[in-house]
Amino acid sequence: MKTLIFALLLSSQVFGPVRVKEARIERDDLQILAGAQWTGTLTYLDYRSKKKVSIPANLTVKPNGEDKWSWVFEYQYPDEPQANSREIVRLSKDGRSINDEVVLERANLPDNTVRVVTEKKGEDNNRSANFRYTYSLNPKSFSIKKEVRYENETQFFERNGYDWKR
């Protein structure tokens, strides 16, 4: 056993560390979102009642001017227009991050869907947390699932999710 460990250590020194291919999202993955409005729902965990609540939610994605690496996401909530919002979503040129989220995984699924998983650190309910986002994108459906794992905890829980179609 000691010989095996020694051989592994020696080979890592001689040949360098084994590097796993880093996940990257492609610009075209996000570009397919631009165009006609997406209609669907936002489902979120209500912290007071501990129940899931769903409301209508629409999304319009537009290119952000001359910057081919960013898009304007306009969220509309027909029953709660005061909650409407807008954000700029920027993909790094190397495809390893979306805004401040690090891309962990990109997979092509059988139904022409691309699944992208990202993570970032932040705060949720006044507690330090890690956020994991799962994006499922194709020309006819788009979803975003946000999961939260509080610092010093091991399990993620689903905080909210958008599901859209067009």
Query: How far lies 48's CA from each of 44, 79, 125, 127, 150, in Å?
Result: 12, 21, 11, 16, 18
pTM: 0.84
pLDDT attached to residue 47: 85
Confidence (pLDDT) at 121 = 97
* CATH no. of 21-165: 2.40.128.20
CA 1/CA 136 separation, integer angstroms = 45
Cα–Cα distance, 166 to 36 (Å, whole number): 7
- Give me the pLDDT at residue 159, please: 95
Q: pLDDT digit of tens for each residue in the chain (166 aa)? A: 444 344 444 444 444 443 346 899 999 999 999 999 999 999 999 988 989 999 999 999 999 998 999 999 999 999 999 999 999 999 999 999 999 999 999 999 988 999 999 999 999 989 999 999 999 999 999 999 999 999 999 999 999 999 999 9
Q: Identify the pLDDT of residue 21.
A: 65
160: closest CA among 42, 81, 59? 42
